[in-house]
Amino acid sequence: MANVVVIGAQWGDEGKGKITDLLSRSADVVVRYQGGVNAGHTIVVDDKVLKLHLIPSGILYPETICLIGSGTVVDPKVMLGELDMLAENGIDIGGLRLASTAHVTMPYHRMLDLAMEQRRGDRRIGTTGRGIGPTYADKSERNGIRVIDLLDQDRLRDRLLGPLGEKNLLLERIYGLEPLDPEMVIEEYAAYGRRLAPHVVDCTRTIHQAARERKNILFEGAQGTLLDLDHGTYPYVTSSNPVSGGACIGAGVGPTLIDRVIGVAKAYTTRVGEGPFPTELEGSLNDHLCDRGHEFGTTTGRRRRCGWFDGVIGRYAVQVNGLDCLAITKLDVLDELDAIEVCVAYELDGERIDYFPSSAEDFARCRPIFESLPGWQCSTADCRRLEDLPPTAMAYLRFLAELMEVPIAIVSLGANRDQTIVVEDPIHGPKRALLSV
């Protein structure tokens, strides 16, 4: 039996959806523990592309329970749209569970998110505009609406009228926007509640019952380590805790329930939105990685910024999350390159450093120190075993494993499920096994 956390080891968009889909085969319960519709992952099944934002990819397995935990923030309109899309594609959605205590993204959250970001001007953060930050802010101010409130229209009215009055004042007087009609909002969200009601559960009781029954539980994080509210490149971060410790808070479990943590990292690095990015590339190399890797956000469609693999933030992610092993994705994107750079340290104000600075200003001044490795200049897309990989591709993976001081358990070589090399079972194998390649 193993309870596993899967996290992003970079700035998100590492391919966690595919890895979670792979690991869900061995999971009885998959728990999404933080974030909202600002996250997105794309799953390719039998050449069918499925784009999800809230619902865990484990929903593709009919025997798996998929729980959206208390630490998430839920846009019910988007969630119902995903459920409808899955049902239209013949996927059984009966296994979906939604925490009654998850907070709800309301229409004023989306309006305020966009208005605040516009007002920031040159200091904009690069949010998705989906209302995630304002939803978490209301949660912290104890002024939020929870899923359980949608299930009773009178309770929803009682909970909503005060906060909505305050938000309307902000929308009108500060941002010059039209106020929202309280009754229209109540009717709309009560209707969402009626549709969601069959899926609503007590999150903590559901998880702990599964644990008592010795079920395999997979905790799925959204975004990535460097977007963590406390441990990322603040203020260019998300509004929750994607790191592995966030699983305990967002799902309502103690750390002793977690058996291991798997990090997901691309064979290079990408970032969406604003903020420092030391290994960022420009010109033809950036375009090459972006085009070959289809680096466009699932949620926003924005073109991702691309750069070489950054071992400094990689080691930081290993430490912050307590990673047991790594899944390296999109190795095939590097197939055509004759040389590949890897950042092994930074230069900051003339001094070589091998750690991630806590100051955003210092991080912005960091210059990458690279080591160059030879490329393999042949396709890896059809490789299914380690021995199928070109020797220089194997050498690249060994270099990453040694640099990050953590073994590699999975190598992904494309979007399809079968384009994967499993070095050793990352869930049931011995803890801290010699998985390095």
pLDDT of residue 437: 39
Catalytic residues: 13, 41
Where are the alpha helices (H) located in 170-234, listed in sequence order? 182-196, 203-212
In whole angstroms, how far apart are CA 280 and each of 267, 319, 331, 362?
14, 23, 18, 16
**Contact indicator for 223, 7 with CB cutoff of 8 Å:** no
Give strand pairing partners of 31.
67, 219
Judging by beta carbons within 10 Å of its beta carbon (0-12, 13-18, 19+), is residue 94 exposed, middle or buried? exposed
Residue 311 has which token pair? 């071992």
β-strands 41-45, 48-52: how paired? antiparallel
Task: Give the end-to-end CA distance of the chain in Å, rounded to a whole number.
Answer: 25
Q: If we measure between CA atoms, which residue out of 192, 259, 262 comes closest to residue 20?
A: 262
Interatomic CA distance for residues 175 and 169, integer angstroms: 9
| Mean pLDDT of each 10-residue bin along the chain, 437 residues long | 90 89 89 89 73 86 93 96 91 94 97 87 77 94 96 96 93 93 96 97 95 94 94 93 96 95 96 91 92 78 90 97 95 96 97 94 96 96 92 95 93 89 66 40
Q: Concatenate the DSSP letters of all residues of 128-161 into one string.
A: -SSSHHHHHHHHHTT---BGGGGG-HHHHHHHHH
Q: If we measure between CA atoms, which residue out of 74, 61, 64 comes closest to residue 31?
A: 64
Residue 272 has which token pair? 């969406």
Q: Which distant-in-sequence residues (6+ apart) come within 8 Å of 210 by Cβ?
A: 28, 29, 65, 217
In whole angstroms, how far apart are CA 226 and each of 277, 347, 416, 436?
11, 19, 27, 24
pLDDT of residue 432: 44
What's the whole-model pTM score?
0.90
Q: Which distant-in-sequence residues (6+ apart) come within 8 Å of 115 by Cβ?
A: 171, 174, 175, 177
Residue 9 has which token pair? 């080891």
DSSP E strands: which ranges in 53-121? Answer: 65-68, 73-74, 96-99, 103-104
Residue 290 has which token pair? 């972006």
Q: If we measure between CA atoms, which residue out of 29, 32, 31 comes closest to residue 1?
A: 29
**Contact indicator for 327, 412 with CB cutoff of 8 Å:** yes
In whole angstroms, how far apart are CA 360 and each of 287, 303, 357, 374?
26, 23, 7, 32
pLDDT of residue 434: 35
Q: If we measure between CA atoms, which residue out of 16, 14, 135 comes closest to residue 74?
A: 135
Residue 46 has which token pair? 């039998």
Interatomic CA distance for residues 78 and 223, integer angstroms: 18
